[in-house]
Amino acid sequence: MQRIVILWSLLMLTIIAGCTKDGPYVAKIGKETITEEEYRNAMMLQFRSEENIKQRSLDERKKIAHDLAIEEAKYLEGLARKYDENPEIAQNVEASAKRKALDLLYEDKIINSVITESMMRDFYDKGSKEIMARHILVKKNSSDTTAADKARLKSRIDSIKTAIDKGLDFKTAAKLLSEDATTAADSGDLGWFPWGRMVDEFQRAAWDAKPKTVAGPVESPFGWHLIWVDSTRAIEGRKPYEESKNDIATRMREVEGQKLGEKAREYVTALHDEYGLKLDQAVLDKFVAKMLDPQMTLNKELGPMFTAEEKAQIAGTHKLGNITIDDMIQKVGANAYRVDWKNPQSVKDLAHAICEPQFLEDKAVKEGYLKKAMEDPSIVQQKKTAIMRLVEKVEITEKLDGNEDADRAYYEQHLQEFIQPETRTIREIFIKEDSAKAAKVRERALKGEDFQKLAWQFNEKESTKRDSGRIGPFEEKRFGMIGKSAFQLQKKGDISEVVKVGKNYSVLQLLETYPSRTKTWEEAKGDARRENRVVRTKQLTEELEKMLLSRYPLKINEEKLSTLWPLPPERQDRAARDQ
Average pLDDT of the residues in 244-262 = 88
535 in a domain, yes or no? yes
Cα separation, 520 vs 535, in Å, equals 21
Q: Residue 21 above 70 pLDDT?
A: no
CATH (domain of 507): 3.10.50.40
> Within this chain, do residues 244 and 301 fall inside the same structural domain, yes or no?
no
Average pLDDT of the residues in 349-361 = 97
Q: Residue 11 above 50 pLDDT?
A: no
570 in a domain, yes or no? yes
Return the pLDDT at 17. 44
Residue 144 makes CB contacts below 8 A (sequence gap 6+) with 150, 152, 153
108 in a domain, yes or no? no
Of the three residues 255, 285, 302, the one that is the final residue of a domain is 255
> Within this chain, do residues 187 and 68 fall inside the same structural domain, yes or no?
no
90 in a domain, yes or no? no
Return the pLDDT at 570. 61
Residue 504 makes CB contacts below 8 A (sequence gap 6+) with 430, 431, 432, 433
Instruction: Assign 13 a pLDDT band (cuts: 50, 70, 90).
Output: very low
443 in a domain, yes or no? yes
Phi, psi of 331 (to 5 degrees): -70, -45
Residue 294's CB: how many other CB atoms inside 10 A? 5
Provide, rounded to the nearest whole percent, the portion of the chain with pLDDT above 70. 94
CA 545 from chain centre, in angstroms, equals 32
Return the pLDDT at 574. 55
Return the pLDDT at 14. 44
Q: Residue 553 above 60 pLDDT?
A: yes
400 in a domain, yes or no? no
Cα separation, 496 vs 451, in Å, equals 12
Instruction: Assign 22 a pLDDT band (cuts: 50, 70, 90).
Output: low
Interval 436-484: pLDDT, tens = 999 999 999 999 999 999 999 999 999 999 999 999 999 999 999 999 9
- Residues forming a β-bridge with 424: 474, 513
Phi, psi of 419 (to 5 degrees): -90, 130
Instruction: Assign 2 a pLDDT band (cuts: 50, 70, 90).
Output: very low
Q: Residue 15 above 70 pLDDT?
A: no
Instruction: Assign 142 a pLDDT band (cuts: 50, 70, 90).
Output: confident
> Within this chain, do residues 190 and 129 fall inside the same structural domain, yes or no?
yes
Return the pLDDT at 60. 94
548 in a domain, yes or no? yes
Of the three residues 471, 487, 515, the one that is the final residue of a domain is 515
**Range scoring the smallest mean pLDDT among 118-132, 140-154, 448-462, 558-572:** 558-572
Q: Residue 177 above 70 pLDDT?
A: yes
Return the pLDDT at 231. 92
> Within this chain, do residues 570 and 509 fall inside the same structural domain, yes or no?
no
> Within this chain, do residues 296 and 240 fall inside the same structural domain, yes or no?
no
Asked whether the beta carbons of 377 and 14 are under 8 A apart, the reply is no
> Within this chain, do residues 41 and 165 fall inside the same structural domain, yes or no?
no
Return the pLDDT at 220. 92
Cα separation, 140 vs 154, in Å, equals 10
Residue 135's CB: how many other CB atoms inside 10 A? 25
> Within this chain, do residues 222 and 180 fall inside the same structural domain, yes or no?
yes
> Within this chain, do residues 439 and 354 fall inside the same structural domain, yes or no?
no
Return the pLDDT at 579. 54
Summary mean pLDDT of the chain: 91
SS3 at position 447: coil
Of the three residues 515, 550, 565, the one that is the final residue of a domain is 515
DSSP string of 64-113, one letter each residue: HHHHHHHHHHHHHHHHHTTGGG-HHHHHHHHHHHHHHHHHHHHIIIIIHH
Residue 554 makes CB contacts below 8 A (sequence gap 6+) with 27, 28, 29, 66, 69, 73
Cα separation, 72 vs 39, in Å, equals 13
> Within this chain, do residues 245 and 272 fall inside the same structural domain, yes or no?
no
Instruction: Assign 546 a pLDDT band (cuts: 50, 70, 90).
Output: very high
574 in a domain, yes or no? yes
> Within this chain, do residues 288 and 246 fall inside the same structural domain, yes or no?
no
C-alpha torsion angle, residues 556, 559, 564, 565 (rounded to 10): 110
How far is the CA of 491 from the CAs of 182, 259, 447, in angstroms?
70, 82, 17
Question: What is the distance in angstroms between the CA of the first residue and the CA of the last residue of the chain?
Answer: 33
- Strand 419-420 relative to strand 499-501: parallel, antiparallel, unpaired? unpaired
Average pLDDT of the residues in 134-139 = 95
Residue 316 makes CB contacts below 8 A (sequence gap 6+) with 277, 278, 279, 280, 322, 323, 351, 355
SS3 at position 316: strand
Return the pLDDT at 578. 53
Q: Residue 347 above 90 pLDDT?
A: yes
Domain hosting residue 222, numbered range: 119-255
CA-closest candidate to residue 291, choices 254, 343, 252: 343
Return the pLDDT at 251. 85
Q: Residue 276 above 60 pLDDT?
A: yes
> Within this chain, do residues 339 and 353 fall inside the same structural domain, yes or no?
yes
> Within this chain, do residues 251 and 267 fall inside the same structural domain, yes or no?
no
Average pLDDT of the residues in 321-344 = 94
User: How many domains are contained in the chain?
Assistant: 4
Dihedral of CA 205/206/211/213: which sign?
positive
Instruction: Assign 25 a pLDDT band (cuts: 50, 70, 90).
Output: confident
Phi, psi of 353 (to 5 degrees): -65, -20
Return the pLDDT at 569. 67
